[in-house]
Structure 1
Amino acid sequence: MDSKGPPLYAQAGSSLDISQSLEDNSLVDGPLISADALHSAIRREFQTVPTSCHASLLSVLHVIYVVLSICVGVLCVLKFGQEEVCTKILHGVQGGSVIVYAKVFLWALVLLFTGCMKHHHSRARSRGYLQFYREMEGLKHLPLIVHSIGNVVLLVVLAAGLHPPVHTYLLLSVLGLEVLVAVPCLIYYAVKVMRFNRERAAPDVNQEELSHSYSVTNSPTETGFRGASSLEEVVEKQADLIEYLKQHNTSLSKRLLNITAQH
């Protein structure tokens, strides 16, 4: 019994080695994916964020609205000798009502612009531009907040029941103050987005890999948090990176399956 045992185990082991080598050979002999094809399929071209044009257009519309509101308020509401012209242009509608209706329409445009910003910034975040997304997080909500506060102040002025001259002056003052705050915010946002589009930088993960390799080869690395670092920011950034890498790995898996199916 003992003399027959080792040959049986040896035969079994040799058969397993043969089958494993055959499987390895079949994998090696299979169609291989060229590096050029894989790189061309995985490489993503930089996609710009088109909201800078929208912000510039909204700024122009806001300035035009305020200028026209001042003209309507001075000529039609305060009635500086242009009652007939205002009646023909406004078709009998009161000048104050026209200003309020136009303000509601402008607020709706700002709300639509904010939704468009959120959509394009979320797409930029999904492409790996996490730092840009975090920098613009507070700025993209600022125009809507300014316009919403202006609407609240206008409602207070309308509900106060003041005399027409005082009411008109307050109304125009609120609109002027609003444009002085909202338009610079939109211009600053447009400049930031245009700079991001002009730089055409790689995603944050690739930039960190390059900086890490440069620091390893040229300077000693440091361990731990620096004085200006915040633990909450580091944890939040790591969570964003993990979420992006999960989405990126899913996309790469789908692309690899498509390439292997084509070959």
Structure 2
Amino acid sequence: MDSKGPSLYAAGTSVDVTRSIDEDSLVDGPLISADALHSAIRREFQTLPTPCHASLLSLLHIVYVVLSVCLGVLCVLKFGQEEVCMNILGNVRGESVIVFGKVGLWALVFLFTKCVQHHHSRARSRGYLRFYRQTQGLKTLPLSVYSTGNVLLLIVLAAPLARKVQVIMLLSVLGLELLVGLPCLIYYTVQVTRFNRERAAPDVSQEEHSHNYSITSLPTETGFREGSSLEEVVEKQADLIEYLKQHNTLLSKRLLNLTAQH
């Protein structure tokens, strides 16, 4: 009786020791290396396709203004091309064609703005709140510029002016709109292209990484701070939640890979 007791105790001890060693290996093993975690997050970076859309919209705007100037000068101001214009346009007035083209251009800008808002909202949900805030006014600026151009265009068309003066004013509005709207689209393209090229980690991941490797750095501001607005606090908390979801997903993948290896 006495001889079996120590053996059972030894066996139980060995099982406990083995179990504790396995648990320690799972806890203390290189499963959540910071560098590996950040590199895995970088591989999941999703670029924004909106720079291509902005470039195409800029090209269409330039083509529209050039064609409108040619149409206004040759067909409305009648610099020796009346027969050609009659064959192409028929009974349609040149001003009407310009206005219809302007409506189509504004519709494209509206669709572009909705597309930009959709992709930026997805980037925000992936934790890029800083980028979302930096481009919050920029992504709606082209629509504001083109809408203002529509208002000026309506004022010119409604004004009691001679036809030639009206066309000159109309083309001037289109040229001014091009000078203001095109730089906005180019600047937006540059900003988003830079963001896609950097392929940065989410904001919380960057703050955590800088806090881990910098002794003098301050803690990440995910909670309330004096002078912070409620909206900013909520956005940072949402960013933290999204980051933690990514963190847990990556940890689960690493645990599954480790289990499959053993």
> Shorter-chain TM-score: what band?
0.7 to 0.9
**1:47 matched residue in structure 2:** 46
Q: Which consecutive unaligned segments of at least 5 residues does structure 1 have? A: 1-20
Residue by residue over 1:36-60, the C-alpha shift from the partner in whole angstroms, topping out at 9 and shown as x without a partner, is 69978x9443111111111111111
Residue by residue over 1:233-253, the C-alpha shift from the partner in whole angstroms, topping out at 9 and shown as x without a partner, is 6x5443212112223445666
Q: What secondary structure is seen at the aligned counterpart in 1 of 2:208?
A: helix
Q: Which amino acid aligns with 2:238?
A: E
* Equivalent in 218, 241, 246 of residue 246 of structure 1: 241
Q: Structure 2-normalised TM-score?
A: 0.76
* Equivalent in 214, 227, 232 of residue 231 of structure 1: 227
Output aligned runs, 1:136-175, within 5 Å.
136-175=135-174
Q: Which amino acid aligns with 2:172?
A: S
Q: What secondary structure is seen at the aligned counterpart in 2 of 1:231?
A: coil
Output aligned runs, 1:89-108, within 5 Å.
89-108=88-107
**RMSD between aligned alpha carbons?**
3.4
Residues of 2 paired with 1:247 and 1:51: CA distance? 23
Per-residue deviation, 1:211: 1.9
Q: Indicate if the aligned counterparts of 2:32 and 2:251 stay in contact, CA closer than 8 A.
A: no
**2:79 matched residue in structure 1:** 80
Q: Structure 1-normalised TM-score?
A: 0.75
Residue by residue over 1:101-153, the C-alpha shift from the partner in whole angstroms, topping out at 9 and shown as x without a partner, is 00000000000000010011011111111111000000000000000011011
Q: What secondary structure is seen at the aligned counterpart in 2 of 1:215?
A: coil
Q: Which consecutive unaligned segments of at least 5 residues does structure 2 have? A: 1-14
* Same amino acid, percent of matched pairs: 56
CA separation of 1:134/1:207 partners in 2, compared to 1, >3 Å: closer, same or farther? same
**1:70 matched residue in structure 2:** 69
Residues of 1 paired with 2:204 and 2:217: CA distance? 21
Residue by residue over 1:84-103, the C-alpha shift from the partner in whole angstroms, topping out at 9 and shown as x without a partner, is 11112223321100000000
Residues of 2 paired with 1:140 and 1:108: CA distance? 16
Q: Which amino acid aligns with 1:147?
A: Y
CA separation of 1:149/1:232 partners in 2, compared to 1, >3 Å: closer, same or farther? farther
**1:192 matched residue in structure 2:** 191
Q: What secondary structure is seen at the aligned counterpart in 2 of 1:239?
A: helix
Q: Which amino acid aligns with 1:99?
A: I
Q: What secondary structure is seen at the aligned counterpart in 2 of 1:170?
A: helix
Q: Indicate if the aligned counterparts of 2:126 and 2:242 stay in contact, CA closer than 8 A.
A: no
